[in-house]
Structure 1
Amino acid sequence: MKGRTKLTGLVIFRGDPGYEAARKNWDPHTDRFPKVFVFAQRTQDVSNAIKWARENKVPIRPRSGRHSLEVNLSQVNGGLVIDTTKLNQIKLNKKAGTVVVGTGNRVGRIANTLAKQGFIAPFGDSPTVGIGGITPGGGIGPLQRSIGLISDNLLALEMVDAKGKVIRANSKCNSDLLWATRGGGGGNFGVYTKYKFKVHPAPAKATVYRITWPWAQFEEVLKAWQRWAPFVNNKLGSELSIGPKKGGNVSMEGLFLGSKTEALRLLKPVTSVGTPTSSIIRLLPYTEAVKFLLPPDPILTQRESNQFSSGFGRKPFTNKAIKAMRQFLENVEGQFAGFFFLNWGGAVSRKSPRSTAFYWRDAQFYVEWNSSWLKPSAAPRNIAIVRQTRRKLQPYIVGSYINVPDQGIKNSGPVYYGANFPRLRRVKAKYDPKNIFNNPQSIPPANHKR
């Protein structure tokens, strides 16, 4: 290859041993054939990779946890993938109440490590998602009503820009980049190598719960949940999942940072609906509560491919919206397909929509839905039904969550970022004016053709 820069770190070209393993993502339909993978072992390796890619005119993709849910985001044919998984330090400063983490850490590793030290680190619904990607997209999960989004807890960062230069940002220096990283999506401004977060003291114990109902009761459970979940005590996080009619059920799980007695009382408006088939409500040491909600997820690559879409609900779904949900759930078949809801409010809604790049703060709940399939030939039908369902639900939702992307969304900038999109384009123009970091739905620099 031409150019002056040499690739450093663990470098795997197409055809080298280890290439096939490096190529496998959590979702098989996002796998591609990059030219080369660089597993960075220090920040300098990231810098060298960016310079090399530019000298050789090769597209760049950053990757952290391999959980990208759409195509051409963390891999691209013929591209260079900068994988940060070896950047996995965790440095807790108990006195300051902060932690510095490498962007290659998985969310579960951080949450479990800090829980043992008596601190809460925010997490979503999977332990193997990379902190590198979940953070800039916002980072939602069952603790958000108590401590805010993952990105709301971000205090400072280290990033390598399009020239290979190491940039640090905090509230005093490059504060526009810190603002943009709190919800402006990964892969837009540069490659992140370190994050510094605020951490919160963990309670000694927390109450976790998991309750299931038969699929046929999904409407009454959903209606009760949507009336209750956004307004319940802010220390209670609740996720509601509804599987496909074929083989699926309804389940609600989450945690309450408080006693079991109080949790039972708070959960009553939903647990008293329908006829639950199983119910677990347990007071556990906080370390065990984290393990309950993030059970080990050892198999990285799953067999099923998925298509997702997402949005935010400002009021409970009408019967017409529920009818569209029902049609979807009656027609999808994959065991991982279905609808997922998460309650909003509390600390998430206390920040104003412009205070960080994450705009959708005044919703009552988050919703996502996905189809899943095994045979590649089933992809077009499954992708189409998710996008068709989005059109039917459009009157009942606003926006979409950048970490659960859907490339069927046209002119996606304002959909992901609301009124913050123009400012994000200006930040992009400052840190990556030539649009080196781009993907199918990345932010175009201001004064740049869309």
Structure 2
Amino acid sequence: MRLRKSSTKQYQLKLSISMSHSNLQPRLDGNSSALLLLLALLLLLQVPDAGAGLTAASTPVPSSSASTTITEALQGQREAQITATRAASFAACLRSIKGFPEVRLPGTPNYRDYANGLRIIRWHLPAAVVYPKSVPQVQAAVLCAVKFKVQPIPRGGANSFESLSSGDGALVVDLSEMGAVMVDVKAMTATVQFGARMGNVYSAIYKAGVSAGKNLTCLGGVWPQVGIGGLTAAGGYGSLSRKYGVLADHILSARVVDAKARVLLTNEQSNPDLFFAIRGGGGGTYGIVVEATVKLVEVPVVTVAHIGYRGLDHAVDLMERFQRWAPSSPSELTFTYNLVRAGSDIKLYYLGREAELRQLIHQRSGLLAYPGAVFRAVECDVLGSRGWLAGSGWAPLSCKSDNVEVPQRVKPGGLLMKDREASKYRSAIFTKPVPREGLQEIVALLRSPEKIWKLFQWKAYGGAFDSIPASFNAFPHRKGVIMHSEFGTSFGYQRSAAELAASRARVVWDYFARAAAVMDKYATDARYNGYVCLCDDVAQYFGANYARLKAAKKKFDPGNVFRNALSVPPTGGDTSLE
């Protein structure tokens, strides 16, 4: 800090400042108190010249408002010093964790890339990011966060559409260094650390099964880069779901680090309320799930298939047929119906032979009844089928296992970075078909002139969903639901929504609002927690299970240490982060 003479010959104080997120904060040295007092006096006294002396007779008496200004300035300086000291102590706490996990702090190279995940509708500036490699290191990180009153946020796959796997001023506990998968073929289980990405889980299980002469897998989603933690927290609809349910239905036990840094075993007998909550009850809410044991299934053969229609001329008829037949089709068949501006793309995943599927589709589905239909099918082993599902439906149909394994870490310049996107999606749950006029409205949205990405996706229910009770775990969407939808748009890659030109961003927001209004007319009030949106109410994700989840939250995290904008609050609490 130094004094310089202004053009009006009055002295001004020039402070070195630093930008922290959106606030300007002064950097003050050890003489800050005296300098701030001098600053206040100089501004009050309006010194006319650097050489002018001050006498008792000529010195104005500071007014009460001037005294208040001085007091506030000194108080602000003291608070800044306390904040800086606290931040340094917090960083020292993290760096002193036994085994020295990697710690990233603001101001270090590429910090924004480490601080944020793969979905970047908004950027966050957390207080630190820590990469524990063991459960004791997770416990120690939680203790540091609680001691310094910093919000801990667990991060697994970092795929939250609302960027909830990071937060301003928070401690991001990134579990990507904890991705071990231990398979017990005899017991038909896998014990998985909850930093693992699903592609790596599938691959490890498959390799262990092949060595024992079995074709094994677990329940999961479609995209290999999705983390097992976030998928389990949402429920986990995937390519085997109409036969076996969701991933959360196959979790046998788990270990959770709670707000007191204890490791709690959860299963049907031990901490059953917590076990209920972590299976489909939302992510980052009840503690940090560090490991779970998952039940495996044997899948001897899979037929993957694709039905494609270019253009939207038959989209209404095709979707009308799909939503009336798919939920009642054999449970061995799971669908993903994508409707985009280019046309209809239906992916099919069948637990059986190609000839059986061809007969089913040609004779019973009615999905090939319209001109221009393209139907392709091929048999795969279970790992090869996972790889094809992750690709484009219009790509050459083949069994692909070389794109299933993915990097664990999101690193600057890394492979996962190419998928970093500011996307805006929402879910809808349907208990009856969308009427024809509703389908026409959806097609009209796709045909509207905005040159932006638009997607409406449907996944059929029925099958196992009709036989598993809604109270089995926190995932409530069971009997009576015929399909759920994911719909939305994108602001583009490698930038947040706020970084898009305002006029362009307005087009995206306006389209999303219109799409949501159309879907709301025909869907129920329920939502799927896998596609979170800040426009939702938390209770919509959990239906009749919401009260039990709030009670579990109050029991295991009454201080709401683990929280985000869409987490379940304790009974009697709310979702405020203040």
- The TM-score, its normalising length taken from structure 1, stands at 0.93
Contact 2:338 2:346 survives alignment (8 Å): yes
Contact 2:217 2:297 survives alignment (8 Å): yes
The aligned residue for residue 522 of structure 2 is 396
Structure with more relative contact order (C-alpha pairs < 8 Å, separation 6 or more): 1
The aligned residue for residue 471 of structure 2 is 354
User: Aligned-pair distance for 1:343?
Assistant: 1.1
User: Aligned-pair distance for 1:312?
Assistant: 1.3
Q: Letter of the aligned partner of 1:291 in structure 2?
A: G
Contact 2:340 2:456 survives alignment (8 Å): yes
User: Aligned-pair distance for 1:173?
Assistant: 0.3
The aligned residue for residue 115 of structure 1 is 206
User: Aligned-pair distance for 1:214?
Assistant: 1.7
The aligned residue for residue 290 of structure 1 is 386
Instruction: Describe the superposition over 1:59-114 as per-residue Cα deviations: whole angstroms up to 9, x where unpaired.
Output: 2211101111114x111122110111111110111111111001111111112222
The aligned residue for residue 199 of structure 1 is 296
Residue 95 of structure 1, aligned match among 186, 189, 193: 186
Q: Give SS of 2:304's match.
A: strand
Q: Provide the rounded CA distance (Å) in 2 between the counterparts of 1:38 and 1:334.
A: 40
Q: Provide the rounded CA distance (Å) in 1 between the counterparts of 2:374 and 2:323.
A: 21
Q: Give SS of 1:29's match.
A: coil
Q: Provide the rounded CA distance (Å) in 2 between the counterparts of 1:390 and 1:335.
A: 16
Q: Letter of the aligned partner of 2:219 in structure 1?
A: P
Whether 2:372 is the aligned partner of 1:372: answer: no
- Structure-to-structure mapping, 1:155-234, within 5 angstroms: 155-203=252-300, 205-216=301-312, 217-234=314-331
The aligned residue for residue 84 of structure 1 is 175
Moved more, 32-41 or 389-398: 389-398
Q: Letter of the aligned partner of 2:107 in structure 1?
A: G
CA RMSD of aligned residues (A): 2.0
Q: Provide the rounded CA distance (Å) in 2 between the counterparts of 1:124 and 1:30.
A: 25
Q: Letter of the aligned partner of 1:155 in structure 2?
A: L
Q: Provide the rounded CA distance (Å) in 1 between the counterparts of 2:466 and 2:295.
A: 18
Q: Letter of the aligned partner of 1:36 in structure 2?
A: A
Q: Letter of the aligned partner of 1:404 in structure 2?
A: Y
Cα gap change, 1:337/1:305 in structure 2, threshold over 3 Å: closer, same or farther? Answer: farther
The aligned residue for residue 332 of structure 2 is 235
User: Aligned-pair distance for 1:376?
Assistant: 5.2
Cα gap change, 1:449/1:257 in structure 2, threshold over 3 Å: closer, same or farther? Answer: closer
Contact 1:334 1:373 survives alignment (8 Å): no
Contact 2:327 2:482 survives alignment (8 Å): yes
User: Aligned-pair distance for 1:290?
Assistant: 2.0
Cα gap change, 1:50/1:372 in structure 2, threshold over 3 Å: closer, same or farther? Answer: same
Whether 2:353 is the aligned partner of 1:263: answer: no
Instruction: Describe the superposition over 1:349-395 as per-residue Cα deviations: whole angstroms up to 9, x where unpaired.
Output: 21111221111112111111011123353334423432443333224
- Structure-to-structure mapping, 1:5-24, within 5 angstroms: 5-7=93-95, 8=97, 9-24=101-116
Q: Give SS of 1:426's match.
A: helix
Q: Provide the rounded CA distance (Å) in 2 between the counterparts of 1:384 and 1:47.
A: 44
Residue 272 of structure 1, aligned match among 343, 348, 368: 368
Flag structure 2 segments of 5+ consecutive residues without an equivalent.
1-87, 210-214, 392-402, 407-414, 493-499
Q: Letter of the aligned partner of 1:364 in structure 2?
A: I
Q: Give SS of 1:135's match.
A: helix
Contact 2:315 2:443 survives alignment (8 Å): no
Cα gap change, 1:32/1:371 in structure 2, threshold over 3 Å: closer, same or farther? Answer: same
The aligned residue for residue 383 of structure 1 is 509
Q: Provide the rounded CA distance (Å) in 2 between the counterparts of 1:354 and 1:242.
A: 32
Instruction: Describe the superposition over 1:113-155 as per-residue Cα deviations: whole angstroms up to 9, x where unpaired.
Output: 2233221212212110010111021000121011210000011
The aligned residue for residue 44 of structure 1 is 136
Q: Letter of the aligned partner of 1:421 in structure 2?
A: Y
The aligned residue for residue 553 of structure 2 is 428
Q: Give SS of 2:572's match.
A: coil
Whether 2:573 is the aligned partner of 1:448: answer: yes
The aligned residue for residue 63 of structure 1 is 155
Contact 2:335 2:460 survives alignment (8 Å): yes
The aligned residue for residue 415 of structure 1 is 540
Contact 1:64 1:84 survives alignment (8 Å): yes
Whether 2:119 is the aligned partner of 1:27: answer: yes
Contact 2:156 2:174 survives alignment (8 Å): yes
Moved more, 124-133 or 209-218: 209-218
Q: Letter of the aligned partner of 2:143 in structure 1?
A: K
Whether 2:462 is the aligned partner of 1:345: answer: yes
Q: Provide the rounded CA distance (Å) in 1 between the counterparts of 2:424 and 2:445.
A: 13
Moved more, 95-104 or 302-311: 302-311
Q: Provide the rounded CA distance (Å) in 2 between the counterparts of 1:156 and 1:385.
A: 43
Q: Provide the rounded CA distance (Å) in 1 between the counterparts of 2:542 and 2:451.
A: 31
Q: Letter of the aligned partner of 2:542 in structure 1?
A: Y
User: Aligned-pair distance for 1:206?
Assistant: 1.1
Q: Letter of the aligned partner of 2:358 in structure 1?
A: L
Moved more, 377-386 or 335-344: 377-386
User: Aligned-pair distance for 1:31?
Assistant: 3.1
User: Aligned-pair distance for 1:193?
Assistant: 0.6
Q: Provide the rounded CA distance (Å) in 2 between the counterparts of 1:276 and 1:239.
A: 19
User: Aligned-pair distance for 1:180?
Assistant: 1.1
Contact 1:183 1:357 survives alignment (8 Å): yes
Contact 1:25 1:301 survives alignment (8 Å): no
Cα gap change, 1:306/1:331 in structure 2, threshold over 3 Å: closer, same or farther? Answer: farther
What count of residue pairs does the alignment treat as equivalent?
Answer: 443
Aligned residues with identical type, % of pairs: 26
Q: Which entry has the higher C-alpha Rg, 1 or 2?
A: 2
Whether 2:345 is the aligned partner of 1:251: answer: yes
Flag structure 1 segments of 5+ consecutive residues without an equivalent.
none
Q: Letter of the aligned partner of 1:133 in structure 2?
A: G
- The TM-score, its normalising length taken from structure 2, stands at 0.73
User: Aligned-pair distance for 1:166?
Assistant: 1.1
The aligned residue for residue 230 of structure 2 is 133
Q: Provide the rounded CA distance (Å) in 1 between the counterparts of 2:422 and 2:331.
A: 35
